[in-house]
Amino acid sequence: MAMVCLSDFEAYAKKYLPKIAWDFFAAGADDCITRDENILAYKRIHFRPRMLRDVSIMDIRTKLLGTEISFPVGIAPTGFHQLAWPDGEKSTARAAKAMNTCYITSTYSTCTLEEISAAAPGGLRWFQLYIHRNRAVSQQLVQRAEALGFQALVLTADLPYTGKRRDDVRNGFRLPPHMKLKNLEGAFEVCKISLLDPSVTWNDIHWLQSLTHLPIIIKGILTKEDAELAVRHGVQGIIVSNHGGRQLDGGPATIDALVEVVEAVQGRVEVYLDGGIRKGSDVLKALALGAKCVFIGRPALWGLAYKGEEGLQDVLRILQDEFRLSMALAGCASVSEIGQHLVQFSKL
């Protein structure tokens, strides 16, 4: 079977992963409307491609908070990579480094931050965190991440409680006994997500800033009001995200929410996006609407499920090639030429 596009990896993963793992990765909240909208929304955006521009030399590099990456696609934080591939997050780290892009490592990794760092020394990594009821746990994680060279903290804002994913309830999903949330061992019992603190507010950003010199990115913003609050509280970046449609069903597609966030932010901080990226042209649409970079969640897991590190590189390479081609066909030779003039929302 030729792996030509990301859907091929999805089909592979669906076929070969244990059902309970596939269901967990695929799950959306409730009726999965937001999960599916993340993808459908791209179909309502049309390009306005420009012709006869010199696209003989293509430059698809961009920078994340000043650090160059090979193209504007990183790895979104997702948990439990050992469910997809034995080496888990170590493979993810290696693939991201090989492709010279950013890997946002989840708190809910099945490898320790130390193992991940050792697997791909020097790779660009950000650390995703929640704020725990026991703040000492969060503090310890932040300090470990900083010491290990993670270059930013990504605070997930949309999970005061876990969304209702029906298949996980039906399957009685839990990690197999031989996998652990290794970053949290010792800190408290495994998988007790309820130990996250639902009382967290914007003021806790200040507390987090007091713990670290790392820049702070906030993930899960979907409105202009919250974007404004994020900027005012001194974050360095915003990830427009609905947690892959796994939290509040009925929330907007991220590509739709991006527009109002970008308009509110007015360039004061970098804005990123995750959710629904399946083709290089999706990346181009997100950049045209103001995202500095996008992050892929499920497609990265499909790549891991296919062939571990190598499979994830395949996924990234396909996206890279498609993105470069889309740019050229739209008349852009470098990411700096991408702008809102390239797209319009379909009336339909």
- Residues contributing to the annotated binding site for glyoxylate: 165, 243, 246
Q: Is 83 in the site for a second copy (CB under 8 A)?
A: no
Q: Is 210 in the site for a second copy (CB under 8 A)?
A: no
Please identify which residue in 173, 211, 325, 337 interacts with a second copy, judged by CB under 8 A.
325
Question: Which stretch, 13-21, 59-67, 87-95, 195-203, contacts a second copy (CB under 8 A)?
Answer: 195-203
Contact 242, 158 (CB under 8 A): yes
Q: Is 154 in the site for a second copy (CB under 8 A)?
A: no
Q: Is 329 in the site for a second copy (CB under 8 A)?
A: yes
Least separation, in Å, of the C-beta of 348 and a second copy? Answer: 7
Least separation, in Å, of the C-beta of 217 and a second copy? Answer: 13
Q: Is 195 in the site for a second copy (CB under 8 A)?
A: no
The two tokens of residue 318 are: 């396909």
* CA terminus-to-terminus distance, the chain: 36
Least separation, in Å, of the C-beta of 170 and a second copy? Answer: 5
Q: Is 42 in the site for a second copy (CB under 8 A)?
A: yes
Please identify which residue in 14, 30, 149, 191 interacts with a second copy, judged by CB under 8 A.
30
Q: Is 98 in the site for a second copy (CB under 8 A)?
A: no
Least separation, in Å, of the C-beta of 90 and a second copy? Answer: 31
C-alpha–C-alpha distance, residues 133 and 148, integer Å: 24
Residue 206 falls in the annotated catalytic set: no
Q: How many CA atoms lie within 13 A of 280 on its CB side?
A: 20
Sketch the per residue contact string, 254 through 273, with a second copy: x for CB under 8 A, - otherwise: --x-----------------
Question: Which stretch, 17-25, 114-122, 181-189, 201-209, contacts a second copy (CB under 8 A)?
Answer: 201-209
Q: Is 336 in the site for a second copy (CB under 8 A)?
A: no
Please identify which residue in 96, 208, 222, 286 interacts with a second copy, judged by CB under 8 A.
222
Residues in contact with a second copy by CB under 8 A are 2, 4-5, 30-31, 33, 42-57, 157-158, 160-161, 163-164, 166, 169-170, 197-202, 204-205, 218, 220-223, 225-226, 229, 247-252, 256, 279, 281, 285, 321-322, 325-326, 328-330, 341, 345, 347-348
